[in-house]
Amino acid sequence: MSGDNKSDYKAVRGLIRGLDLLNSLNRFDGGARIGQLADATGLHRTTVRRLLETLQNEGYVRRSESDDGYRLTIKVRELSEGFRDEQWISQLAAPLLGQLLQEVVWPTDITTLDVDAMVIRETTHRFSRLSFHRSMVGRRLPLLQTAAGRAYLAHCPDAERESILALLASRDDTQGRLARNRIWVDKLIRQTRANGYGANYGEWGEEEKIGAIAVPIRHGEQVLGSLNLIYIAKAMAIEEAAKRYLGSMRSMVGQIEQQLEQQDAERRQAREEAQRQRKDGEERQAGETPDMTAPGTEGGAGREQGSQD
């Protein structure tokens, strides 16, 4: 796997500037004026104005008549409607999976919840010489019978778990039957938490020859997904797999969670910087506003003339 994003084509400078401008405008609560955006992006005011007018024509920004500031419109949300948390988690994880493959050899997956199943978002199956599966991205894994699902259920918030189990219990299949057995479910949750990882040793009917261990990927109080390692069950017991590979898996998850925290910190810093720039701009504008009662101004001159009369 490679994280190389090189292109054979030259970057489009205008597009880069337009995206940079949208990103900067997004950081200003309540909109921003051209001067503020020029300061934030380092672009010339004329360039900023031209880009804003283009974005306004396309419906992504609007100009306020009251203060000449520019604000994002609801249309901007269309740019992110199809991009959810699990997708940027997999984006962070993709290059790390390649590194992990060198350590563990067996294939690994990044999985996330999709309503009532875990879905494989990224995988090294096609790169691992020990995998007999190749097309795995998008495959749905049952929550109560797979390591990935068990790791997720055991560590997600209680309210979320109860909602998921209620949904599964309404089904007329193996998942429904298992979900309705609360004694079995509660025991599974306790055991998974005690182990610190989810496990499956041939318990999923579709993959009876497979063993797997999985650890949750957390972000604050939320569980965003699971890192799953798959192997041929007869090669080793679950305990042996955990002894060999759990350390490397947890190290990778730690890197993902650290990057998520770093992204949060950068977003907070960007918001604070935007607020500071907006405040500075407002103070500068207030300082540049002439005192119409001061001598030398129209109002001041009028008062002086009146006093002479």
Buried b / exposed e over 53-82, threshold 16 CB at 10 Å, is eebeeeebbbeeeeeebbebeeebeeeeee
> What is the average per-residue pLDDT within 28-41?
86
Residue with tokens 């189990």: 165
User: Beta strands of 117-167 (E only): which ranges?
Assistant: 117-123, 140-142
7: left (phi over 0), alpha (psi -120 to 50) or beta: beta
Output the pLDDT for position 284: 72
User: Residue 103 burial by CB count (10 A; 0-12/13-18/19+): exposed, middle or buried?
Assistant: middle
Question: pLDDT, tens digit, for every residue of 203-244?
Answer: 998 888 999 999 999 988 889 999 999 999 999 999 999 999
Question: Is 75:38 a contact under the CB 8 Å cutoff?
Answer: no
The pLDDT confidence band at residue 84, using thresholds 50, 70 and 90, is low
Q: What is the DSSP string of 14-82?
A: HHHHHHHHHHHHHHSTT-B-HHHHHHHH---HHHHHHHHHHHHHTTSEEE-TTT--EEE-GGGGGGTTT
Question: Closest Cα partner for 39 from 265, 286, 274, 283?
Answer: 274
How confident is the model at residue 27, as a pLDDT? 78
- Helix or strand holding residue 275 (H, E): helix 238-288
The closest of 30, 230, 216, 201 to 126, measured between CA atoms, is 230
Instruction: Average the pLDDT over each of 90-99, 114-123, 230-239, 289-298 and give the range with the smallest value.
Output: 289-298
Residue 267 is predicted with a pLDDT of 74
SS3 content of the chain, % helix, strand, coil (to 5): 55, 15, 30
CA dist., res. 301 & res. 290, Å (int): 13
The larger pLDDT score, comparing residue 186 to residue 28, is at 186
pLDDT of residue 217: 94
Tell me which range, 6-15, 66-75, 80-89, 274-283, is most confidently predicted by mean pLDDT. 66-75
Least confident segment among 32-36, 126-130, 197-201: 126-130
Q: Is the pLDDT of residue 307 over 50?
A: no
pLDDT tens, residue by residue, 96-111: 998 999 999 999 999 9
Mean pLDDT in the chain? 84
Q: Which carries the bigger pLDDT value, residue 90 or residue 296?
A: 90
Q: What was the pLDDT predicted at 279? A: 74
Q: Is the pLDDT of residue 3 over 50?
A: no
The confidence score (pLDDT) of residue 304 equals 46
Q: Percent of the chain having pLDDT more than 70?
A: 83
CA dihedral 141, 112, 230, 260 (to 10 degrees): 180
- Give which of 146, 80, 78 is closest to 113, Cα–Cα: 146
Res 88 pLDDT > 90? no
